Amino acid sequence: MNITDIRIRKVPKDGKIKAFVSITIDGVFVVHDIKIIEGEKGMFLSMPSHKTAEGEYRDIAHPITTEYRQSLQNMIFAKYEEFLKEEARSSKAQSGGKPEKTTE
């Protein structure tokens, strides 16, 4: 089973959720709404979930082993870092490569 595509959708506002992620497995199965969250101890993934009648959240899809969870997390975080670098390059290009003006 291989992750054949990872797509990042950044959340436009400040908060704990930094982005939503969709992964494609073997080019034939997609999992949407994986969240990249900034926690007190750093970034982590939250798998897609739903709220039960009792008010608890339960994962809809998730890795079964710790090893695969770590592997998936590493792949997603690497793609997120690429996404942030590309976003910074785009922002710099749009501003003509000049530093943004600040007011004090």
Q: Which domain holds residue 47?
A: 3-94
Would you say 32 and 47 are in contact if contact means Cβ atoms under 8 Å apart? Answer: no
CATH number at residue 37: 3.30.1120.40
How many domains is the chain partitioned into structurally? 1
- pLDDT tens readout for residues 23-75: 999 999 999 999 999 999 999 999 999 999 999 999 999 999 999 999 999 99
68 Cβ contact list (under 8 Å, min separation 6): none
Q: 87-103, pLDDT tens digit by residue? A: 888 877 776 655 554 44
Residue 103 within a domain: no
β partners of residue 24: 5, 30
Residue 102 lies in a domain: no
